[in-house]
Amino acid sequence: MEEHPRTITGPFGRFTRQANGLIYFYKQDDLAIDVSTAQKFLDIIRQLDNSGEVRIIVVQGHGVEYSFDAQRLLLKNDVLSMIAYVIQTGTQYLTAELLQDVAKSLKSQIQVEIFQEIEAAEAWLLEEAGGE
């Protein structure tokens, strides 16, 4: 595990892999995520951690939309194992809840949970990873 954080910043937001092994994705506001954008997310995540067991905290921006194909790609891939969405508004909750429901309907192996605080998301990701 790397001791120092590593960050990749781009037009979608900021991805940082911290010393605790988690990747934090602070998503830009007003972002329409199609399949090519979702693929770019996965490429960036692979640059930070290519273990195939990535645990990520996604801090939702405002006005973020996902196409169905982007949702499917993000929820059925060989990169991510756990996603914790951190939300602050009702709209963000509805977006994250939809992704959680799609994960269940696609029978995704990726665990998806929703939190209101980064600390709670961290605790869940670190506890679940340690308990497996």
49-68 pLDDT per residue, tens? 999 999 999 998 899 999 99
Say if residue 33's pLDDT is above 70: yes
d(CA 114, CA 118): 10
- pLDDT bucket at 18, cuts 50 / 70 / 90: very high
Tell me how many degrees the CA angle 105-12-100 measures, rounded to the nearest 5: 15
Q: What is the mean pLDDT of the chain?
A: 93
User: What is the pLDDT, as a whole number, of residue 129?
Assistant: 72
CATH no., domain 6-131: 3.30.750.24
Asked whether 25 and 57 are in contact (CB, 8 A), the reply is: yes
d(CA 32, CA 36): 11
- pLDDT bucket at 115, cuts 50 / 70 / 90: very high
Say if residue 130's pLDDT is above 90: no
Q: What secondary structure does DSSP assign to 3-27, as a single string?
A: SS-EEEEETTEEEEE-TTS-EEEEE
Q: What secondary structure does DSSP assign to 33-52, as a single string?
A: E-HHHHHHHHHHHHHH--SS
118 exposed, middle or buried (CB, 10 Å; 0-12, 13-18, 19+)?
A: middle
Q: Where are the domains of the chain?
A: 6-131
H/E stretch holding 82 reads strand 80-86
User: What is the pLDDT, as a whole number, of residue 131?
Assistant: 56
Q: Give me the mean pLDDT over the 30-34 stretch.
A: 94
Q: Give me the mean pLDDT over the 84-89 stretch.
A: 95
